[in-house]
Structure 1
Amino acid sequence: MKGITYREAGVDVEKAEEFVRALKGIVSRTHRPWVLQGVGGFGALLRIPEGYRRPLLVASTDGVGTKLLVARAVGRFDTVGVDLVAMCVNDLLTLGARPLFFLDYFAVGRLELERDLELIEGIVKGCQEADCPLVGGETAEMPGLYREADFDLAGFAVGVVEEDRVVDGKGVVEGDILVGLASSGLHSNGFSLVRKVLLEEM
């Protein structure tokens, strides 16, 4: 029986290796003193920053939903990377946690280096804004599962909070002041509805 290669199966291993080499330098811009080993190994190695007496870890995972279709339609991918980090880190903040690190999962029908590096640049920008190191992730080229131009994106964030400083709403009492912050615009929630409204208006 003739041997079959990954390339013949639709997976470009050489392009994947080129992608990883390119992103290592980009990702290292997010690293902080508590990152001992980041991208490149099978796992990241970190220490909890000093100063915590009874640290609790807080974990969150999220995606950017159908905003990916908007990114593809306009050909701009960095913004969904920023949004991905924001979605996960904002969930940590609801419990009063400071982000410690971030991981991403990026699944594609076919690797496209220009698009994919733009997306990683967005994730790096989001991590820099959140002071949250990007320590690893997974890029999976799966032509049997995704159509050629299709891709999906998920993020995972872990943060830390002092046990006696957890924000959980238990201390809320009548008379407390509620502060609302205006959104800077559409982020990543509700884009199925937004796309439907816009497409019907066009």
Structure 2
Amino acid sequence: MPGSDAISAAHKSVTYADAGVDISSGDRTKERIKFLAKRTFNRNVLGGIGGFGALFQLDLKKWTEPILVSSADGVGTKLKLAFELGIHNTVGADLVNHCVNDIAVQGAAPLFFLDYLATGRLDASITEQVVEGLADACKANGCALIGGETAQMPGFYGDGEYDLAGFIVGAVEKSKLITGATIVPGDILIGLPSTGLHTNGYSLARKLFFEVAKYKPTQYIGAIGDKAGNALMKVHRSYLAIVQKLVNAGLVAGMAHITGGGITENLPRVLPKGTAAHVELGSWPVLPIFEHLRELGQVPQDEMMRTFNMGVGMIVVVPADKFSKAKALLNRAEEKFHVIGRIIKADKNDKDSRRVLYS
């Protein structure tokens, strides 16, 4: 028989906080989240943060035949670097901008966004930084942050670690939906510059920087002209503003957001059957960080092209007869761009016609 002390200990009241979940702390954090989220609200948002479901009323006066476009994504192992550097506000912007770009390529304007933040033990300061980044990016993209979930999961995540994912909904007029179906041989490929790795290829990049080269995150690297951590943490860019200008001017046949899989796997997603893409290597300036990563690991060219964006974060397919107008629009907007190739007719004997050919 266990002793009386053991019995007493066994019958001691145990709370959720004893198991690692501090509900009171979570409630206080949620109040701060509500404040940050409300900065992104517009007249279409009904109610506030805290209901079982978030409410958004589509303005039917603005839309004739709206198509809803949605996407979900995460930040990936870029978060590992955020933990080490203690930089948490930029990953929120990474997530929102990534999701915005994913629906913008189909011509959609973002309506609302929801996030999922899961951690071991809730750190109010870190959570606020993450949500502040989400809110700022939503505001910048004209998107309402109308809800989400903050989960405390002790034992599942290590101390100071969290995961972050998001879900976006946008809308586009059915008549203006961009699918790539009108792409034909001769169309021109315009590449819009990236700011860096964006949110892809971090498992390989971290291995090369921190295991192979043994860099410290705060170490300055002459080859890239920046500190290792700062270069890797550059925010995933939103292309929404310039893309909308091109779309509204009727200059776009298709678009590809260059994320995981690089140009090699993302551009074919918008190509119609019977076409392929000819991309000219050297037609755009590859960012120094990619060149340095390649040198560190002696990474083959094809592996680089299907792992990283290589300095091109968005590809816009423009009909040849509209290229002059597109060029003028981009110049007026002071948007840097590079003509990186053309659409070609696929070889009739090529069973996998929708692919990228490099030269």
TM class, shorter-length: over 0.9
Q: Which residue of 2 is the match for residue 74 of structure 1?
A: 85
The 3-state SS of whatever aligns with 2:71 is: strand
Matched, 1:39 2:77: no
Select the residue among 168, 191, 194 that pairs with 1:180.
Answer: 191
Matched position secondary structure for 1:181: strand
Match of 1:146 among 157, 174, 181: 157
Q: Residue by residue, what CA displacement relative to the aligned partner does 1:108-158 show, whole Å, maximum 9, x if unpaired? A: 001111111011110011101111100000000000322222210000000
Gaps of 5+ in 2: 1-10, 215-359
In the alignment of these two chains, the number of paired residues is 202
Of residues 37, 43, 63, the one that matches 1:27 is 37
Structure 1 spans left out of the alignment, 5+ residues: none
**How far is 1:37 from its partner?**
2.2
Is the aligned partner of 1:97 residue 2:108? yes
Return structure 1 stretches of 4+ with deviation > 4 angstroms: none
Note the 1:155-174 alignment, pairs <5 A. Answer: 155-174=166-185
Matched, 1:18 2:21: no
Give the match's secondary structure for 1:179.
strand
SS in structure 1 at match of 2:190: coil
- AA of the residue aligned to 2:93: V
The residue number in structure 1 matching 2:65 is 54
Please, what TM-score do these two structures have when normalized by structure 2? 0.55
In 1, Cα distance between equivalents of 2:49 and 2:71: 20
Match for 2:175: what amino acid? D
Alignment partner, residue 137 of structure 2: 126
Looking at structure 2, the residues matched to 51 and 127 of structure 1 have their Cα atoms a distance apart, in angstroms, of 20
Distance in 2, matches of 1:84 and 1:161, equals 21
Shift of 1:3: 4.3
Which structure has the higher relative contact order (CA within 8 Å, separation 6+)?
1
Q: Which residue matches 1:201?
A: 213
RMSD: 1.2
Q: Distance in 2 between matches of 1:189 and 1:131?
A: 24
Shift of the alpha carbon at 1:185?
1.9
2-side partners of 1:56 and 1:75: how far apart? Answer: 40
Say which is worse superposed, 10-19 or 28-37, in terms of deviation: 28-37
